[in-house]
Structure 1
Amino acid sequence: MAEQHDLMGGRLHLYKRGDGKFWQCSTYLGGRNHRASTKEESLSHAKDFAEDWYLELRGKQRRGELKNEKTFKQASEQFLHEYEIITQGERNAQYVKGHGINLRVHLLPFLGDKGLSEITPGLVQEYRIHRSKTSKTGKPPARSTLHHEVVTLRQVLKTANRHGWLQFLPDLSPPYKTSGKVGHRAWFSPTEYRTLYMATRKRAQQPLNNRWKHVCEQLHDYVLFMGNTGLRPDEAGRLQYRDVKVVRDRDSDETILEIEVRGKRGVGFCKSTTGAVRPFMRLRKRNKPKPEDLIFPGGAQRELFNTILDEEGLKFDRDGNRRTAYSLRHTYICIRLMEGADIYQIAKNCRTSVEMIEKYYAVHLKTTLDASAINVRKPKIKRETPRVLTAEDA
C-alpha cells in the first residue's frame, strides 16, 4: 500500500505514486482537485513544500485568483484532437499542421495558462502588440501571418464554446486598422511576362553548364505551363501526368489541357489556354513518365527561378512587391481579365471567388473600367422660360 500522510486537518494529502521517488501533494479546493509534485525525496522537506503550496492556494482562493474553469491550453488540446479527425481528407494536411504550429510557437506561450474567460478583446490586442515587439526577424509579422494566428485562436475559442466551457466568443477583430490598404498581388505585365519566358527559353537553349540543361528546360516549361493554367504552386507540385489530358475543346474549337487539380479545397478542374499544350507535350516527351509520376517533382527550381528574376530585374514590381512562382498565377488571372474574359468563369477555373478577384486583381486593371459607362452624358432638356401672367390673362 502506498505511503500517505494527511496534513492541515486532513485537508492536505502527501503521498507517493507506485515506485516514484518524489512525494506528491493534493487537496480539494474551490470545487476541484489540485495536485502537484514536491520534487522532494525527504519527507520533512516534502511536508514543508506541501504546506506552503496549500497556503498559497488558499490565498489565491480568497483573492479570487483561483481558476475553476478550463484554461486556453486545455481548449487547444481539445481543438487539435477534434480538428485533425473531423477534417481528415477535407483539409490540406499542411493547413491542419499550421494550426498546431501557431499554437505551439506563438499562442500557448502567451495565453496557455489563461482561463478562457480571461481571453478578452483587450488581451488579444496585447497579444498583437507582443507579437510585433518580439519578432525574431526584427520586424513585425505580416498582416496575413497575424491574421492566421487569430484564426487559430478563434477556432480554439469556438471549440470551448461548443463544449460549454465559454459562454460567448469575444470580439477578435483588430481595432483601428479594420480595413487595410487595398493593394494588388505581384504579377507580370504582358511585356514583363514575355521578358521572363524569353529569358528562361534562352537559359534552356544555352545553359551555363550542360549538367543543368534538364533543370533549365524544366523551368522554362514550368513558367509557360503556370502562366497558361493559373494553378497554385502547391497544386502544380501535386500534379501527376494522369491528371492532365490534351483535348479538343468543342466550345472554343481549340486544343487545350483539361486538368484535374488537387489542392487546398479538394479536387477541382481547370481548362488551360492553348499556350500550355506545347510545354506539356515537351515535358511528357523529355521525361518519359509513368501515369502516376509527378509533372514537376522539383517544384519551380526556386533558386534558378530567382536567379533569372534578378538578372532580368523582375524580382520586385514597381510597388516593391516581391515576385515568386505564385505571381505566375496572378499573371494568368490579370491577362485573362485584360483580354475580356468573364470574371465568374475565371473564378471557377482558378478555384477561387469573384470577390477575391475583384479585391486583388480587377482593382488595378484599367481594362475593367468601361469608359463609355463612365463618360456617359445625359441629354440636356430644353426648358422654356416661364411666362409671367398679366391681369388680362386672368
Structure 2
Amino acid sequence: MSTPTSPQAERYQLFQRAGSTKWQMRFSVRGQGQLKRSLDTDDRGEAERRADAIWYEATYRAKQGLTARAHGFEAVAEEYIAQIHREVERGERRTDQGKSEPAMIRRFFIGYFGSKPVDAITDTDLERYAEWRRTYWTEGPGKLIEHIEYERDGHRLRRPVRRSAPSISRQRGETVVLRALLRWASRQGYLKTPPEISIKARRAPDNRRPSFEPHEFARLEAASLSRLVDPIMDGKGAEVRASDRRSWRIKRLDDHTRRDRTLLHAYVMIGAFSGLRPTEMYNLTWGDVLGYRAGRHKPVDQRDIRLQVRGKGKSGKAIPQKAAIPWFDTLWMLFQRSMGREPQDTDPVFASEQGKRVSSVANGFTELLKAAGLERDHRGIKRTPYSLRHFYISEQLANGAEVMDVARNCRTSLVMIDKHYGQVRLERVADRLRPEWTRA
C-alpha cells in the first residue's frame, strides 16, 4: 500500500459524476476491495483535504484489523437483529428471543446510541447509558409513552407503562444482550475490542418472598381453626368494626362466613403441604387431583394423590404431602353441600357456593394473618398467599429433601430456589453443619 508521501493519484482518485459538481473519491484497501465516498464539496482543494483525511483514517483502521469505514451503532444493531432472526429460524435461539431482544435493542440501545460509530463507544458512554436506562420511563423518552404494544398468539395487545426503574434482574438481562451485540460487532470487524461493560446494577433491597417459621405456621393454623367456631366462648362474642366506624358483636357465625373460612383454611393447608403457586391452586379442577376418587373412602395413610397443575406458563405434576389429602376431602364436602351433587372432573377444587371458581383468597388471607398477628415477617415485608409456597420449599430443604427434587416438584429452577426460597435459618440445620467427625 502507498505511503503517506506517495503521490495523491496512487492513494485515491477524485471524480465527479455526470450531471453533478460534487467531488467524490474512490480507493482500494487490501482485503476489503474498492470503496467510494462522497466528499460533499465542489471545491477541488477542499475535496483533496477531505479525501486525504478519509484515506488516512481508512488505512489506519485497516492496519488495526477493522473495516476501513466506521459503522454507526444503529446499522450494526439492525444487522445483529437480522442475525437473531436467522438463528431463531434455524432453531439456535428460542422463539421468544426473536421478539423480545429486537424490541429491547431498538427501544433502548438504538434509542440511546443512535448513529454514533460503534467503535467510538467508550466505558463512559456505557455508564451514562445505564443511568439513562434507569430513568427511561420516569424522566426520559418513555415518560411520554402511554402504553406498550406487543403480539401474543397472533393478536396485537397493549399494556400500560410501568413508571418505575427496571428491576435489578432486568438491568442485568439487558446488559447481557448489549454485551453480546458488541462482541458480535467485534467479530464482524466493526470495532477492535468491545468496551468493558461493567454496568453495576445497584443492589436491591432484600425483597425475597416472606415465609413462615414452623412455630409461626402453627400459630397461623391455630388462628384459622379458632375462626371456624362460634365466638361465644367468653360470653361476649367477637367485636366487628365497619369502615364507617360502626361496631357490633357477633356470637354466632353465619353459614356463608363459616363456609368461606373453612375454604380458606383448606387453601392454607393445601398450599403449605403442596408448594403450589396461587395461580396453580386457582386453576385446579377435580380431574387434576389424580388418584383422589379411587381412594376417597380409604384411610389417609393408605391414599396417595398427584396434582396436575397449570399456571405461570408452566404445567406438570406435583407430589403433595399426605397432610394435604384431608383438606381435599373438606373441599369435596363443601361442594357437595352447596351444589347437592359430587364434583365432576371439570369442577374447580376451590369453588364458591354457586360452584364457580374462586378467583382470589387474598383479602381473606390478609384478615387471617392479622388475626394471627403474622401480617408481616421479621423484615416488615407483607406476607401473601405465595408465602405458603415459600414455607413448603423452605421446610422441604430444612428437612433434607434434595434441592433438585424440590425444584422439579415445584416447577422452578435451582437458581430461583437459591434466590427466593433458600432462606433456611442456620439454627434449623445445625446438625447438618456438625458432621460426626467434629463432635466430641
Bucket of the pairwise TM-score, normalised by the shorter protein:
0.5 to 0.7
Number of the residue aligned with 2:131:
129
Measured against aligned partners, the alpha-carbon deviations of 1:14-64 in whole angstroms (never above 9, x if no partner) come to: xxxxxxxxxxxxxxxx989xxxxxxxxxxxxxxxxxxxxxxxxx9xx9899
The letter for the 2-side match of 1:369 is A
Please say if residues 223 and 371 of structure 2, whose CA atoms lie closer than 8 Å, have aligned partners that are also in contact: no
Of 175, 180, 190 in structure 1, the residue corresponding to residue 214 of structure 2 is 190
Number of the residue aligned with 1:305:
365
Find the aligned partners of 1:280 and 1:298 in 2 and give their Cα distance: 15
Shift of residue 331, structure 1, vs aligned partner? 0.3
Find the aligned partners of 1:232 and 1:117 in 2 and give their Cα distance: 47
Find the aligned partners of 2:163 and 2:73 in 1 and give their Cα distance: 39
Number of the residue aligned with 2:325:
277
1:291 aligns with 2:345: yes
The letter for the 2-side match of 1:332 is Y
1:11-160 to 2 correspondences below 5 Å: 67=72, 70=75, 72=77, 109-110=111-112, 122-133=124-135, 136=138, 141-150=166-175
Shift of residue 258, structure 1, vs aligned partner? 0.8
Shift of residue 271, structure 1, vs aligned partner? 0.9
Please say if residues 70 and 118 of structure 2, whose CA atoms lie closer than 8 Å, have aligned partners that are also in contact: no
Find the aligned partners of 1:216 and 1:81 in 2 and give their Cα distance: 55
1:330 aligns with 2:375: no
Q: 1:169 to 1:369 in 2, by over 3 A?
A: farther
Find the aligned partners of 1:85 and 1:215 in 2 and give their Cα distance: 53
1:155-234 to 2 correspondences below 5 Å: 172=197, 174-175=199-200, 185-202=209-226, 215-234=260-279
Of 311, 315, 323 in structure 1, the residue corresponding to residue 375 of structure 2 is 315
The letter for the 2-side match of 1:338 is A
Shift of residue 241, structure 1, vs aligned partner? 2.9
Shift of residue 349, structure 1, vs aligned partner? 2.1
Shift of residue 186, structure 1, vs aligned partner? 1.7
Find the aligned partners of 2:194 and 2:85 in 1 and give their Cα distance: 19
1:243 aligns with 2:285: no
Q: TM-score, normalised by structure 2?
A: 0.52
Please say if residues 201 and 220 of structure 1, whose CA atoms lie closer than 8 Å, have aligned partners that are also in contact: yes
Shift of residue 222, structure 1, vs aligned partner? 2.1
1:341 aligns with 2:389: no
The letter for the 2-side match of 1:144 is S
Please say if residues 71 and 113 of structure 1, whose CA atoms lie closer than 8 Å, have aligned partners that are also in contact: no
Find the aligned partners of 2:184 and 2:279 in 1 and give their Cα distance: 29
The letter for the 1-side match of 2:378 is R
Find the aligned partners of 2:366 and 2:100 in 1 and give their Cα distance: 26
Find the aligned partners of 1:113 and 1:213 in 2 and give their Cα distance: 66
Please say if residues 272 and 391 of structure 2, whose CA atoms lie closer than 8 Å, have aligned partners that are also in contact: yes
Number of the residue aligned with 1:369:
430
Find the aligned partners of 1:237 and 1:84 in 2 and give their Cα distance: 36
| Residues paired across the two proteins, number | 324
The Cα RMSD (Å) is 5.4
Q: 1:362 to 1:315 in 2, by over 3 A?
A: closer
Find the aligned partners of 1:85 and 1:115 in 2 and give their Cα distance: 30
Please say if residues 235 and 262 of structure 1, whose CA atoms lie closer than 8 Å, have aligned partners that are also in contact: yes
Any unmatched runs of 5+ in structure 2? Answer: 1-17, 24-34, 38-49, 58-68, 139-161, 231-251, 336-341, 351-356
Find the aligned partners of 1:267 and 1:108 in 2 and give their Cα distance: 37
Please say if residues 73 and 116 of structure 2, whose CA atoms lie closer than 8 Å, have aligned partners that are also in contact: no
Find the aligned partners of 2:273 and 2:72 in 1 and give their Cα distance: 58
Q: 1:236 to 1:75 in 2, by over 3 A?
A: farther
Partner-residue secondary structure (3-state), 1:70: helix
Q: 1:266 to 1:65 in 2, by over 3 A?
A: same
In percent, how many aligned pairs have the same letter?
28
The letter for the 1-side match of 2:366 is N
Find the aligned partners of 2:362 and 2:400 in 1 and give their Cα distance: 32
Q: 1:66 to 1:362 in 2, by over 3 A?
A: closer
Q: 1:85 to 1:111 in 2, by over 3 A?
A: farther
Shift of residue 199, structure 1, vs aligned partner? 3.9
Find the aligned partners of 2:398 and 2:256 in 1 and give their Cα distance: 40
